[in-house]
Each structure stands twice: as structure tokens, then as C-alpha cells.
Chain A
Amino acid sequence: MADRRRVVVSGATAARARALPQAAPDPGGGPPGAEPSGAGHDPAGRETADTDPPDPPCPSCSVSFPLAACAGEPAGRGGDGAGLAQARALIRVQLRAALTTGATVMIVVTGLPLLLALAPALGRLRADGVPLAWAVLALGIQPVWVAASLLHLRRAEGAERALTRQTSRAAPPEHTAPTGGTAPAGRRGPVGRAGPAGRR
């Protein structure tokens, strides 16, 4: 596993170096600015490298996003093409989810004023003295946004989990990935004293 990983990393880093010559001082996958100290490894990484699952130790990479350069190679199976194909499929699914959410928001946002413009009588309706339009705008719409946001969260995480399951079946890793997404529960850097992260 480790061998394979290292091979992939160096290959991908080389590819990056070719494409992005000005980013040369940046030794790993991170964008130029992800390394505020500018000297070698991200100091944040030194602190958190062994605590944050998404940032596993990897000597040849900047820790802020260590193996991202090998993102085209999920689980290292089937070579580059298959990995990129998987990524493309995931992007399609996620884009569809994002567009659905975006369309919902846009329909509500454009629909309501149009409704009021076309049928002004609706704007004068009152429920118990409170203008209905005000009640809907101030109280009624916000829960819709909260629901849309949570729904999208579920859909997006579901798509990612499905892909994780699929790849872990293809290549059973030594450490099983947590099924609840990648939330790095409990183990944190110095600030994150608050309990299990991300489990709401």
C-alpha cells in the first residue's frame, strides 16, 4: 500500500511540476498559498498530521493536501483512467445535486415576487392582523432554506459515501474508512476541544 502510494505521488507531482512551473517551491499538492510559512512543510501539518485522518503523513507531500495530486487514482486500482472516470462520474452526480438545489432556490426566489406582482391581492391578505406576505417572507421561507440545505448535505454526502464504499470494496484498505463520511471525530488540533466533530 505504502509503496504504491509513493509511486503514485511522485508521478503526479512530476506531472504537476510540468504543468505549473512557477509553483515549484511548493513541494506537494497544495496550491501556492496553502503554505503560509513558505518554508518546507506546512507547520499546521506538523501539528495535525498525525491527528487528522484527511491529512495522513506523507513525506513527499505538503501536508495540507497530501495525496490530492493522486486524486486521479482513487484506491489505486485500474490505473489512472479508471480513477479519473470515477471522479468524472462523481462530479456529474454532485453537479446534478447542486443544480437541483440551485434551481429550487432560484424558483422560490423568482417565483414569489412574480406571484405578488401578478396577483397583488395576495399581498394584501392578512392573517390575524399580520400581513401574510410579511409572515411568509420573514418566517415561512427560512425553514425552506434550512431544509434545502440539509437535503443537499445528505445527497452530497450520500454520493461520496457510495463512491467510498465502491472503492473500498475494490481495494480493502488496511484501516477501514469511517462510514459516516470523513468527519475526523474527536481527534483534533489544539483548538478543537469541542466534542465529536461534524456529527450533528
Chain B
Amino acid sequence: MTVTATAASLSALAALVGMTAALGLYGRRAVRTTSDLLIASRGVTPWWNASAIGGEYISAAAYLGTAGLVLAYGADMVWLPMGATAGYVLLQAFVTAPLRRSGAYTISDFAEWRLGSRAVRRIVTGCVCFVGWFYLLPQFQGAGVTLRVLTGAPVWAGWALVIAVALLVVASGGMRSITAVQAVQFWVKLVAVAVPAVALLALWHLDGGADPASAGAPTFARDTRVHVGHGLTVTLPADTVVTVRGPVDGVPRAGERLRLPAGTHTIGPGADVDFPPGAPVPHAGRLTVQDGDTWAMPFGHGEGLGLYAGYSAMLGVLLGTMGLPHILMRFYTNASGTTARRTAAAVPALLALFSVFPVLYGALGRLYTPDLLLTGDLDATVLLLPQRMLPGPAGALLTGLVAAGAFAAFISTSCGIVVAIAGTLSQCVRRRGVTAFRAGVVLALAAPLALLPGIGPQGAANVVTMALCVSACSLCPLLVLGIWWRGLTAPGAGAGLLLGGGLSVAAGVARLVAGPFTGWPAVLLTHPAMLLAPLSFAAMVAVSLLTRRRVPRRAERALARLHLPEDITAR
């Protein structure tokens, strides 16, 4: 990263933090009551709220992660943004308006009101916390990677920055100020990703428009020096002659030419490797080498496994979107069920605008930043591309823009999740109010921070998929059945939540802590939604039918209230 690029991205970052603080302070001035703090007094219009939801949803995973996944895994990953948008269609169809009409602020409130059970409420609160924590992890990690790539700062600097800004915004202004922060940041992110994308696309065209999927395995287009900070195990697809300064395969080298045979090698720690033009790119341990054809083909590899993994990831994203606590909480800021539904209907259009661009970056990344396959820093694709394709001040400017968008992504998503967790937790304690809310904020940030140093490098999108999977296997069945089926009972809901939520959290933790796995266990642990979501639905229905006597007496009325429009209930 050049000095100009670093300066540009740092000033963009400063501008973004300044804007966030200004919006936050503006919100603080307007905050008068606790309810302002929590729900922005329910006076947010559908378009404004839809922008805020878009801003909240476009996290590190969507902004940085998707491009990296497309670079590494190809067409399979183009499905994910599509699935996320489809998830909002389902959310609108099944959840939003009735949930808003229930008047529940959090999913826990909804569960307690609908089923009349404190125990279920506690289980739901647990699920909300795990979904939120899993969702926060990649935001912190993404911030760490971004700051490291842009400025060379240690990763914890990025964590600290995001946490500090989130604390400032959330604890001062609450939902009111984050509505403004997020709605504005959606458009910041859209501009930040779209403008450089158009410029890079034009450059690529001028450059001859090389086909990312034409060659065999990816190769370096020009002389490339790769710095490997920490030790890496890599797979080399073909014999290559390289110049190395630092340890390779355990032998220290001092800038001599070296012929590396195809196969597995260890590089680093602290090695500089120069690759000549046309050299094949070594792939970090967990990535498989794909030729252009396999890369461009959806489900082009590992037939049965690939199809299961694809469907399961898709189902997790689809259903998981329905149960995301921070998104659902946003609808409470709408004045009525009808406006909430209109908000939800506007979200797919906004996401569709955004979701083309990360795919574009990923495809260009295979041509211009293939060295990320070697270092494994896939999340840096979007950040590095402008500098690579356009060295000089113009590239630095675009890098600054992209970096501002990336930090907008971390900050807005982190704020949303922190408010969701803190709101849910503070509603559980006896003395509700601003103090409880602030204590919840601290807890929401502290838990993932404690986990962070212990887990290895994980792609942002992978961890977010995990959070979505937990939500798909626990909160989604609860909401769908609670809203549409009067026969749901508290024991039924509890059984489904414990089974689906517990197993998916266990799978996620196992993946984070014990991995990496290979073969079927890896696929099952990474993508359990296909098994667990139906299991959770089935458990809820079966146990509810077994405990039919415990259907709440007011279930019929509760359902009527959920579905009747306000102008009827209010007359």
C-alpha cells in the first residue's frame, strides 16, 4: 500500500467516523426518553427505514466477504447475495406486518407475549445473543484486516476502532441516532462500492478485458512480490522458479532463485517471495486450486457434496434472514404493520442495487489480486483492487472511498447488533431503563471480543453464514409458527429452540474452536441448516401437538391481533 493510498484511506476513515459521530450527537440531542433511545419513537418512514435496514444488513460479509469468496470459490458463491435478497421477500411475506402488530420490541417479547412463558423467553434471549455474537465476530475481524491491509496497523487496532465508535454511537443516541447513521451509511456504502467498480470495469476493458475464467489455475500477471507475515502452508499447482528472502520449507534463504516443485510447501514466517509473470499462484492450505472452467461453473466440483452444501447454505441464508434480531427490531421503528410491510418490500430493491458489485470485484480479483489466494486474506480483495489496477493518486482516492465504505459496513452492522442484544438483555432484567441498556451494550461487545483472539483466520462471509444458520434453526421456526399457527405451545417452542438452536450453536463453536475438518464432517458442521431447520420445525410441531392442552387460551385472539390491520382494531 502506498503512502498516498494510506493517507487517502485514513482521511476517508476520519471523515466517516466524523459523520457517524455528528449523526450520533444529533440523535443524542433529540433523545428525551428511554423509548427514544430504544425505538426512535416509532416515527421512521418506510424508505428511510428500508435504507437503514439495507445499511444494517450490508456488513463486513456482504461488503468484503462476498468478493473474497467469489475470488476463491467462484460461481458457487454468487448464490449467497441472491439468497439474502430472497430472504427479505420471505421476511416480508411471513413475518414483518404481524410482528409489528404484536407491538413486541424484541423477539423475546414476542415469544413471551405469544406463548405466555418466561422459560421460552429466556431460551429466545440466549439464541438472540448467540446470533448477535456470531454476527459481530466477522465485523471485528474485518475491521482488523482492513486497517492492517491499509496501514499496517496491528489487527487489534481495527477491533478497538469499531468497538469505540459503536460504544459512542449506541450508548449516546441509541436507536434514534443509529437509524440516521445506518440509513446514511447504506448510501455511503453503495456509492463507495459502485463508483470504484465502474472505474475498475472501464480500466479492465481498456486493459484488454482478459477473461477471469479463461486460463487454467490462476497465474500472476506481472512480477509480484508477496510478503508472508506468519507461517503458511500452501499448495503449488505446478513447478515454479521464484526468488525468496526468508524461510521456505524450513530452510532460510537470502534472495536466491529457487525451483519449487508442485505440491505442498511451507513459507515464512517473515518471507518475501518474488513470482515471475505467468507463475501459477500457490493456494493457502484450506483453498483448493480450481481451473477457470471449474471456477466459473456453479456447483462444478464435488457433485453430491457440493449440491448439498449449496442447498444447505442457501436455506440457511433464506430462513436465517427471517430471524435476524437486529433487522426485526428495525421494523419496530415503523408506525404500523402496514408501513413495516412496505419497508420490507423496499429492502430487496435496495439490496439488488448493491449486490452486483461485490461479485464484480471478486471476478476482477482473480485477474489482478491472485496473491490473496496465497496469503489467504480474501477479505482484502475489494480493498486492494483499486491500487493494483490503477497505481497513483487516482487509485489512492478510490482506495479511500472503498475503505470508507468498508468501515461504514463494520460500524453500522455492529451498532445494529449491539442495540439488538442490549435491548433484548435489558428487557429481561427487573429494572429496565438506560442503565440496563448500557450494561447490555457492554456485554454485547465484550463476549465476542473475548472469543476473538482464540479463533483462527476465518472468512467474514463464512462466520456470518454461521450466524444466519443459528437464526434459521431457532428464531425463524418460532416466528413463522408463532405467527401463523395457533396450536404452538410453550413446550413445543422450547423444544424446537433448544434442539435447533443448541445444535447449530454447537456446530458453530466446534467449527471455530476445533477446526479445520475435512470431508462430510466439515460439510455438516459448516452447513447444518438443511438438517437442523426442518428438525426444529418438526420438533416444535410435534411437541406442540403432544402438549395440545397447553395451547394458550388467548391464542385465537393473539393471532387475530397479529393479522388484523390497525384501522380495524383501532376503530
Query: A residues engaging B (CB < 8 A)?
Result: 12, 15-16, 18-20, 22-23, 29-34, 36-38, 42-44, 47-48, 52-56, 62, 64-72, 74-76, 83-84, 86-88, 90-91, 94-95, 97-98, 101-102, 105, 108-110, 113, 116-117, 120, 123-124, 129, 131, 133-134, 137-139, 141-143, 145-146, 148-150, 152-153, 156-157, 160, 163-164, 167-168, 171, 173, 177-178, 181-184, 188-192, 194-195, 197-198, 200
Contacts and interface: CB of A to CB of B under 8 A. Distances in A.
Contacts of B102: 31, 65
14 contacts: A19-B553, A20-B554, A22-B116, A29-B103, A31-B102, A31-B103, A36-B35, A88-B560, A105-B86, A123-B296, A134-B296, A156-B97, A178-B567, A191-B44
A36 B114 CA distance: 18
B438 interface: no
A98 B91 CA distance: 10
B116 A19 contact: yes
Among the interface residues A69, A76, A191, which one has the most CB atoms of the partner chain B within 10 A? A191
A54 B335 contact: yes
B446 interface: no
Contact of A87 (B41, B355, B552, B559): B559
Given A91-B559, A109-B86, A197-B45, A67 B570 contact: yes
Among the interface residues B347, B553, B563, which one has the most CB atoms of the partner chain A within 10 A? B563
A20 to B, nearest CB: 5
A84 B557 contact: yes
Contact of B569 (A67, A143, A198): A67
A97 B93 CA distance: 8
Contacts of A124: 293, 297
A117 B303 CA distance: 8
A200 B90 CA distance: 20
A102 B338 CA distance: 19
Contacts of B314: 109, 113
Contacts of B238: none
Contact of B89 (A47, A75, A152): A152
Contact of A153 (B75, B103, B341, B552): B341
Given A31-B113, A36-B433, A153-B92, 19 more contacts: A31-B112, A32-B109, A33-B108, A36-B37, A42-B35, A55-B570, A62-B103, A72-B556, A76-B571, A84-B556, A87-B559, A120-B297, A123-B75, A138-B356, A145-B88, A146-B352, A160-B565, A190-B30, A197-B339
Interface in B312-363: 314, 318, 335-339, 341-342, 344-349, 351-352, 355-356, 359-360, 363
B30 A110 contact: no
A33 B427 contact: yes
Contacts of B560: 71-72, 83-84, 87-88, 91
B311 interface: yes
A21 to B, nearest CB: 9
A146 B30 CA distance: 35
The 9 A-B residue pairs whose C-beta atoms are closest, nearest first, are: A189-B43, A33-B109, A31-B113, A87-B560, A142-B352, A65-B103, A54-B566, A71-B561, A44-B35
B338 A117 contact: no
A23 B352 contact: no
Among the interface residues B176, B335, B355, which one has the most CB atoms of the partner chain A within 10 A? B335
A156 B348 CA distance: 17
A163 B89 contact: no
Interface string B153-176: 000000000000000000000001
Interface string B261-288: 0000000000000000000000000000
B571 A48 contact: no
Contacts of A22: 116, 118
Contacts of B431: 38
B201 to A, nearest CB: 12
A31 B94 CA distance: 20
B563 A94 contact: yes
B338 A173 contact: no
Interface of B: 30, 33-48, 75, 78-79, 81-83, 85-86, 88-90, 92-94, 97, 101-106, 108-110, 112-114, 116, 118, 176, 179, 209, 211, 213, 293, 296-300, 303, 307, 310-311, 314, 318, 335-339, 341-342, 344-349, 351-352, 355-356, 359-360, 363, 427, 431-433, 484, 552-554, 556-557, 559-561, 563-571
Contact of A75 (B300, B342, B568): B568
A182 B569 CA distance: 11
Contacts of A74: 564, 568-569, 571
Among the interface residues A139, A145, A190, which one has the most CB atoms of the partner chain B within 10 A? A145
Contacts of B432: 36-38
A142 B75 contact: no
A47 B559 contact: no
Contact of A34 (B92, B109, B559): B109
Contacts of B89: 101, 105, 145, 148-149, 152
B341 A194 contact: no
A44 B41 contact: yes
B427 A68 contact: no
Nearest to A168: B571
Contacts of B356: 138-139, 142
Contact of A129 (B86, B211, B310, B565): B211
Contacts of A87: 559-560, 563-564
A142 B297 contact: no
Contact of B105 (A36, A129, A153): A36
Given A32-B112, A38-B433, A131-B296, A183 B570 contact: no
Contacts of B299: 113, 116-117
B433 to A, nearest CB: 7
Nearest to A28: B103
A22 B338 CA distance: 30
Contacts of B427: 32-33, 36
A164 B567 contact: yes
A15 B557 contact: yes
A64 B105 CA distance: 10
Contact of B563 (A34, A38, A91, A198): A91
Contacts of B33: 37, 43-44, 47
Nearest to A191: B43
Contacts of B565: 160, 163-164, 181-182
Contacts of B433: 36-38
A53 B570 contact: yes
B566 A53 contact: yes
Contacts of B342: 153, 183, 198, 200
